[in-house]
Amino acid sequence: MTDLVTIRSIALTAQINPLGAELTHLRDAGGRELMTDADPAFWTGHAPILFPVIGMPFEETIRVDGTAYPMKKHGFARRSLFEVIEAAEDRVTFALTDSAETRAAYPFAFRLELTYRIEGATLWIEARIANPEDTPLPASFGFHPAFAWPLPYGEDRAAHRILFDADEPDALRTIAADGTIAEARRPSPLDGRELALRDDLFTEDALVWDHIRSQGVTYGAANGPQLRIAFPDTPMLGVWTKPGAAYVCIEPWHGIADPVGYTGEYPDKPGVFEVPAGGEKRIEMSVTLKG
């Protein structure tokens, strides 16, 4: 078991696990937990980092230049031990570089850094994907934070909702039995910009927006403190829980699971971006406690 790294401000305390560079706890000034209880009856994750794939590759395989490589759901970063390369009271940076083990699944050189910093009542999380090679680096990246549902402020679970920044009228993607993306779509469950949270929304897995207009959402009960989750750099969003669990995941993604039956090349897969030769891509999200 790895020791958690703690950063704090007067308003928030965060603890991050070097295994996966995973945000494990986020507490307010009163010590109240804003993250999942990680009940093993439902899901033991907290906020895994998704790299270099989002969701399920078809038959747990990606293909590069005609060669098949084994790739688990959500990629290998969440199971990898990151190095702490910089730490202070209010910030910490973790790094993961390619190795023989990663290249057996993802045949590319890379450096992935995750920086967590707290300013007042806001936790900022920035991913930096660097490409040391002289050819483009294909990749996907996603955040997967699980917030307490209900939040610890005495409001009923049924009173919680997610309010989107913009109208989101498009139909959502659906998830097939094998975890890939099905051809069928489902109508948007929003009432205006509001998603009223109910367990029955998730009986068929996550809600998946593959083109989202909003750059952030506000989560919580209207009469209590809320969380503002901003994601200016990601064009997709997943919202997920298991019915009855004490968390809801609000997941900004730059990528998506494979389409059903996809056997094409990994760089051509929907949602994959390119990091230019010798360049980098930065993807940020933030969580602000309001009220």
Residue with tokens 């706890």: 25
Residue with tokens 């910490």: 92
CATH of the domain at 223: 2.70.98.10
Amino acid 105: pLDDT: 98
Number of structural domains the chain divides into: 1
Asked if 26 and 12 count as a contact pair (C-beta separation under 8 A), the reply is yes
Spell out the long-range contacts of 65-73 with Cβ–Cβ below 8 A and sequence spacing 24 or more: 65/265, 67/107, 69/104, 69/105, 69/106, 69/107, 70/104, 70/105, 71/105, 71/106, 72/105, 73/179
DSSP 232: T
Asked if 153 and 222 count as a contact pair (C-beta separation under 8 A), the reply is no
For residue 114, the SS3 value is: strand
CA of residue 196 relative to chain centroid, distance: 21
For residue 271, the SS3 value is: coil
CA 40-158-203 angle, 5° bins: 55
In tens, the pLDDT along 151-183 reads 999 999 999 999 999 999 999 999 999 999 999
| Domain residue limits at 196 | 5-290
CA distances from 237 to 46, 115, 134 (A): 17, 21, 31
In tens, the pLDDT along 50-75 reads 999 999 999 999 999 999 999 999 99
d(CA 275, CA 248): 31
- Number of Cβ within 10 Å of residue 94's Cβ equals 25
Amino acid 131: pLDDT: 98
d(CA 138, CA 254): 12
Amino acid 1: pLDDT: 58
Mean pLDDT of the residues in the chain = 97
pTM of the model as a whole: 0.97
Task: Work out the average pLDDT over 186-202.
Answer: 97
Strands 273-275 and 160-164: unpaired
Residue 269 has pLDDT above 90, yes or no: yes
In tens, the pLDDT along 16-46 reads 999 999 999 999 999 999 999 999 999 999 9
Residue 195 dihedral angles phi and psi, to the nearest 5°: -110, 105
Amino acid 2: pLDDT: 78
Task: Work out the average pLDDT over 140-150.
Answer: 98
Percent of the chain with pLDDT over 70: 100
